[in-house]
């Protein structure tokens, strides 16, 4: 597999000396041998550094260190800020000590608090939030220190000391003259280090853990120890992953239960058509392209929050793509394959089967694929098999394009960009070349690392220190059902989109032909989410100046997943919505937000109404999916494939 995936096209090792080598074949063999040795060393380095590139980190650290050493003014400023934060910490610690003494003197604490030094939390809240120092406010705003015990001495002093160092480092990592990528890396890795050493992560500095141990007679610690051993054995490969979720939270049982049939299967996808639940449907069908980074049923979770079930109930004919979970034989699958055999193959089937233009929708990377396909169709660089049929040429293939949390301009990719540079991508390529794919756990680990405070440390605190079981839900069960990514496609995606931004700048090629997003002329509905760290909404918003079409943009509450899975009736949901004509002057994201009306509730009804308005408005008899025993019912076979890595 290493020989098959040798990356000479990506990293040419030939030396251009201006003259031909004396012997071409020996020179090539030497170059190949050197590349193979470099690759082996890179894979070994990846194992030592948990998949992170020490070269990338060293470059960032060097950038920071050189600017720190050559900036006496910044040194003085940081020293002054350290002194100010130290003074604020001392004042807060003294106040917390005085409040604790007062509370202890005026009220008899419960037995557990007396033995462990933990009052019941009834005192220590005298200071009003508006009167608290910035350091104390930072502690109170941190969910790790939400328990009242953290407001009492000595625990408040530990928490505020941790926050003080964190606040100082955010300033120290941003020195004048540093490269922007280095600055973000230093901030990020420094925060990761500080999060690892937060007082909430250790038994003797966590008042909640000590209180729980006292109340349970040490049983919480015994349970936590058992869970820690179990987790460690799993990470070392000594036993399968611990079962944290209800077995019924699986595709075809509690999840992905919307009735339907697989109507197409090829080497890359299964296409599912859902059974109608209304006597008539809109003429134009909806084709959903989820990301191949995830299993498709993020959009068909439980019956109450299934987007596809809800769409079917609104009178739409809904199709969805289920991607194959690749193995080593799929290592050479490329971006072209995912667009051609994934998006275009599904689109061809739906257009031919229904005889109507299609509402194409893509989510996350699936949205990027959908945009590429729409641009290729719009520019004449791709054609469907059914385009010669009567009526297709007149009506076109697409009725509209919807992009959910999908980037098409990757210049500002948010936190994910911290982990993407030349050194890191090359390390990933060497890791993938050894197997032919990026494992699901490696992909999941990247997202966990980006949000380790919530997804790693807080989870371990609950399991190991408090002895609590995580309460699994449908979204968490789906998130644990990881998928692989083939080596070539993933490399092309990282380089062509993230490193070079080829798609936005007109250099991206589909089957050898450059495509341009400005060839997209059908109406576009784009959704960004307020808390998205994978596809920041201001980055998603850039679709406005890339396409030659009207764009309806919805900015919804929530994050990359929870903001999309936002069913009607979900408490606290809202969205901003505004349509911008194709010829409207450019508005910045903040200017758009200032004029876009805020609507309470889910964005789903707004999107369904938009689909109806951008279609013909005609109702046709409901379309029943054809039954083929060789293909089988939804959720299909591909979604069931899981690997232990």
**Residue spans of alpha helices (H) in 514-622:** 537-540, 589-595, 604-614
* Euclidean distance between CA atoms 476 and 481, whole angstroms: 9
Q: What is d(CA 34, CA 31) in angstroms, rounded to the nearest whole number? A: 5
Q: How far apart are CA 292 and CA 533, in angstroms?
A: 18
Task: At 384, list the tokens.
Answer: 């469907």
Choose, from 94, 292, 352, 364, the residue flagged as catalytic.
364
Please say if 386 is a catalytic residue: no
DSSP structure string for 434-503 = HHTEE-HHHHHHHHHHHTHIIIIIHHHIIIIIS-PPP---HHHHHHHS---EEHHHHHHHIIIIIIT-TT
Map residue 223 onto helix, strand or coil: helix
Distance of CA 212 to the CA centre of its chain: 34
H helix runs in 173-267, sequence order: 180-196, 207-215, 219-235
Q: How many helices (H) and strands (E) does the chain have?
A: 23, 16
Alpha-carbon distance 137 to 164, whole Å? 11
Distances from the Cα of 389 to the Cα of 392, 393, 396, angstroms: 6, 8, 11
Residue pair 253/481 in contact by the 8 Å Cβ criterion: no
**Which residues are part of the catalytic machinery?**
364
């Amino acid at each position: 597999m290493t020989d098959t995936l040798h990356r000479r096209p990506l990293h040419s090792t030939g030396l251009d000396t201006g003259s031909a080598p004396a012997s071409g074949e020996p020179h090539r063999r030497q170059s190949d041998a050197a590349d193979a040795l470099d690759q082996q060393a890179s894979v070994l380095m990846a194992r030592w550094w948990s998949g992170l590139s020490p070269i990338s980190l060293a470059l960032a650290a060097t950038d920071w260190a050189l600017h720190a050493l050559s900036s006496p003014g910044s040194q003085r400023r940081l020293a002054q800020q350290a002194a100010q934060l130290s003074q604020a910490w001392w004042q807060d610690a003294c106040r917390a000590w005085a409040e604790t003494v007062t509370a202890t003197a005026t009220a008899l604490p419960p037995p557990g608090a007396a033995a462990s030094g933990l009052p019941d939390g009834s005192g220590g809240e005298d200071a009003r939030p508006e009167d608290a120092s910035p350091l104390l406010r930072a502690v109170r705003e941190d969910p790790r220190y939400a328990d009242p015990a953290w407001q009492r001495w000595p625990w408040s002093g530990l928490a505020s000391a941790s926050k003080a160092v964190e606040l100082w480092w955010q300033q120290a990592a941003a020195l004048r003259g540093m490269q922007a990528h280095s600055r973000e890396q230093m901030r990020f890795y420094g925060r990761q280090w500080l999060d690892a050493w937060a007082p909430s992560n250790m038994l003797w500095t966590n008042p909640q853990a000590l209180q729980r141990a006292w109340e349970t007679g040490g049983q919480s610690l015994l349970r936590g120890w058992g869970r820690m051993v179990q987790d460690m054995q799993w990470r070392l490969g000594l036993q399968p992953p611990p079962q944290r979720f209800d077995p019924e939270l699986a595709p075809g049982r509690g999840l992905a239960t919307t009735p339907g049939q697989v109507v197409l299967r090829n080497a890359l996808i299964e296409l599912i058509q859902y059974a109608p639940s209304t006597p008539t449907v809109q003429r134009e069908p909806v084709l959903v392209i989820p990301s191949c980074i995830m299993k498709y049923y993020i959009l068909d979770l439980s019956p109450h929050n299934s987007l596809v079930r809800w769409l079917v109930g609104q009178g739409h004919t809904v199709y969805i793509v289920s991607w194959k979970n690749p193995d080593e034989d799929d290592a050479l699958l490329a971006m072209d394959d995912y667009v051609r055999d994934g998006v275009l193959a599904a689109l061809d089937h739906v257009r031919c089967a229904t005889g109507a233009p299609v509402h194409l929708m893509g989510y996350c990377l699936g949205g990027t694929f959908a945009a590429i396909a729409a641009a290729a169709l719009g520019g004449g660089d791709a054609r469907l098999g059914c385009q010669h049929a009567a009526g297709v040429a007149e009506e076109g293939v697409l009725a509209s394009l919807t992009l959910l949390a999908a980037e098409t301009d990757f210049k500002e990719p948010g936190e994910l960009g911290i982990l993407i540079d030349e050194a890191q991508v090359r390390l990933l390529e060497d890791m993938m070349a050894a197997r032919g794919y990026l494992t699901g756990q490696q992909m999941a680990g990247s997202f966990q690392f980006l949000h380790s405070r919530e997804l790693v440390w807080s989870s371990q605190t609950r399991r190991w220190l408090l002895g609590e079981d995580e309460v699994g839900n449908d979204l968490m069960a789906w998130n644990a059902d990881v998928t692989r990514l083939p080596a070539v496609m993933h490399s092309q995606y990282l380089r062509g989109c993230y490193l070079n931004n080829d798609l936005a700048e007109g250099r991206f090629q589909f089957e050898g032909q450059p495509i341009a997003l400005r060839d997209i002329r059908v109406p576009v509905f784009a959704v960004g989410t307020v808390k998205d760290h994978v596809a920041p909404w201001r980055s998603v918003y850039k679709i406005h100046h890339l396409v030659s079409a009207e764009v309806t943009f919805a900015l919804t509450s929530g994050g990359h997943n929870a903001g999309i899975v936002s069913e009607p009736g979900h408490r606290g949901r809202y969205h901003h919505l505004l349509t911008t004509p194709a010829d409207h002057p450019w508005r910045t994201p903040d200017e758009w937000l200032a004029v876009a009306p805020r609507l309470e509730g889910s964005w789903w009804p707004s999107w369904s109404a938009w689909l109806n308005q951008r279609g013909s408005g005609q109702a046709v008899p409901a379309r029943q999916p054809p039954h083929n025993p060789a293909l089988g019912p939804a959720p299909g076979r591909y979604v069931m494939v899981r690997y232990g890595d």
